[in-house]
Amino acid sequence: MILAAALLLDAAFGEPEWLWSRVTHPAVAIGNAIGWADRRLNRGGMRKAKGTLLCLALIAGGLATGALIAIPGPVVEILAAAVLLAQRSLADHVRAVADGLRLSPGSGRLAVARIVGRDTAGMDPADISRAAIESGAENLSDGIVAPAFWFMVGGLPAMLAYKAVNTADSMIGYRTPRHADFGWASARCDDLLNLLPARLTAGLMCLAARHWPDWTQLRADARRHRSPNAGWPEAAMARCLGVALAGPRSYHGERRAFPFVNPAGRRTIGPAEIEAAVALIWRSWALLLPVALVAGH
């Protein structure tokens, strides 16, 4: 019941600017701690060991902090859980790309640059649309389904521990010379924690779209993605909308020839497909709500 109430609260109010402009958001606080550790510990020798200790500290800190926050009772727990969900903000940010793209490609690029880490300067409308839809699919898993899943497993402590690891993965979980060793433990832990939620997200999207693809084909599409988990929601989104996602893109000026997910899908896409993705994100959320209610019993 606490999780269901948190899902409804987040969906209704999202992340109000008036609040988070005055108070540090928990995700920002976690990110600040990870950034501090990255600056202080990610140097010299034994970087993999230091990164592993950081990952363990984040899990322990999340579990302990979540347990403390839950002590006052369900009202505080509902508020805290709602803060750790991101349904409303995700839907709003993805829809903003469609709105911007209707004005001009430049406006679309500005909007999508707020939600993706790839280079956006050379994107055409189809590239912008794919990036927005991919971000929506992946963040439906990371930002809503996975936190809710871990709340069902272990309450607010497990949810906060997941959020800490997921934030670390987004900051230091890269195979770059600087972070290949230091971020290794956070990246592998995040892969493990998202193993079931990513597949659950794919299932929710297929049910919400009333389009159940051949699971073997869906799995083959998911494996085209460079991530062992993000490919699942992206593959489900691609097949439900009948579009091709992923594909070549640039990072830091370097063009990377990633394969398309659902390569037979439409590649000339635009605002209409982005809005269809947002609608599917909301329908998937609507299916998650009764799952939370059943889990509460």
Residue (of 262, 176, 274, 149) closest to 213 by Cα position: 262
pTM for the full predicted model: 0.93
Exposed, middle or buried: residue 253 (CB in 10 Å: 0-12, 13-18, 19+)? Answer: exposed
Angle of the 195-209 helix axis to the 125-140 helix axis, nearest 10: 110
Q: What is the pLDDT of residue 118?
A: 83
**CA torsion angle 256 261 264 267 (round to 10):** -60
Q: What is the pLDDT of residue 54?
A: 97
How far apart CA 14 and CA 91 sit, in angstroms, is: 10
Q: Which residues of 159-197 are buried (b: 16+ CB within 10 A; e: fewer)?
A: bbbbbbbbbbbbbbbbeeeebbbbbbbbbebbbebbeeb
DSSP category for residue 211:
-
CB 88 within 8 A of CB 11: yes
> Which residues of the chain have a pLDDT value below 50?
none
How far apart CA 281 and CA 30 sit, in angstroms, is: 26
Q: What is the pLDDT of residue 84?
A: 95
3-state SS, residue 202: helix
Amino acid sitting at position 228: P
3-state SS, residue 255: strand
How far apart CA 25 and CA 40 sit, in angstroms, is: 23
Report the domain count for the chain.
1
Residue (of 135, 203, 143, 165) closest to 31 by Cα position: 165
DSSP category for residue 243:
B
Q: What is the pLDDT of residue 247?
A: 84
3-state SS, residue 158: helix
Tell me the pLDDT tens digit for each residue of 41-64.
Answer: 999 999 999 999 999 999 999 999
Q: Which domain holds residue 96?
A: 2-296
Q: What is the pLDDT of residue 297?
A: 63
